[in-house]
Amino acid sequence: MAKFSQLGWSIRDLARWFGALVIAAVIVGVPFAYYRAQYDHAKRLRVVTDGRFYRSGQLTANGFEDVFRRFNIKTVVNLQDEAKDPLIPRSWKGKPIVNESELCRQFGVKYVSLDGNVIDYPEQNPTGRPKLIAEFLDILHRPEAYPILIHCKAGLHRTGFMTAIYRMEMEARTKDEVVRELRGNGFGTFGATDGNIYLQTHILEFQPTRRPESEPKK
């Protein structure tokens, strides 16, 4: 205590200093913990087409259950090749307790795992399209699949590309429109250029296969 006395600090000063640190930690820590809990619960959840198509990052079990109830989800498409059936926690910082596919089964939701990182070319597949896109279009063309929720880990890049395909295939959006949407949803201007091989194979070379349901038939 002699050193503190030499600095002119008393025990009361130390107590006040320590108390201030505790208060500061609470002021900063509690809002941060709340933010992280809310972030993981609804990680980049966005409505693409209300009643039909939704996107997000990897959610917690509570987050998925909330989305299932709010939007009556019928199909979940997981685009993570690194986690084809992730074991997820109930909430933020919780212990992983349930596989995503099992959670979907409990709620009567169809679970589909696609490799969102794959890069292959039409000539390598009998469908004449990259395998990932062909498999995704097969889901989009099934009326019973809707409403659909797609997600990857962060809900930005792989999810962004598949959302763009949905927009072009089912809503007749142009390539310029979907690229702008990519950038507007956090993809990044530099990443959304024709130098990105995924953008080249998934968007710029994409040709819709059907008339959007909203377009009047002739």
Kindly calculate the radius of gyration of the chain based on its CA atoms and give it in whole angstroms.
23
Work out the pLDDT band at 198, boundaries 50, 70, 90.
confident
Task: For 108-119, write each residue's pLDDT tens digit.
Answer: 999 999 998 877
Whether 36 shows a pLDDT value over 50: the answer reads no
Is the pLDDT at 57 greater than 50? The verdict is yes
Question: Would the pTM count as exceeding 0.85?
Answer: no
Q: What is the mean pLDDT of residues 5-12?
A: 58
What are the two backbone dihedrals, phi and then psi, of residue 113, each rounded to the nearest 5 degrees? -110, 120
Nearest to 102 by CA among 81, 66, 76, 136: 76
**pLDDT higher at 32 or 108:** 108
Residue type, 95: K
CATH for 43-204 is: 3.90.190.10
Kind and range of the H or E run holding 20 = helix 11-41
Domain ranges of the chain: 43-204
Q: Are 75 and 68 in contact (CB under 8 A)?
A: no
**DSSP character for 58?**
P
Residue type, 113: S
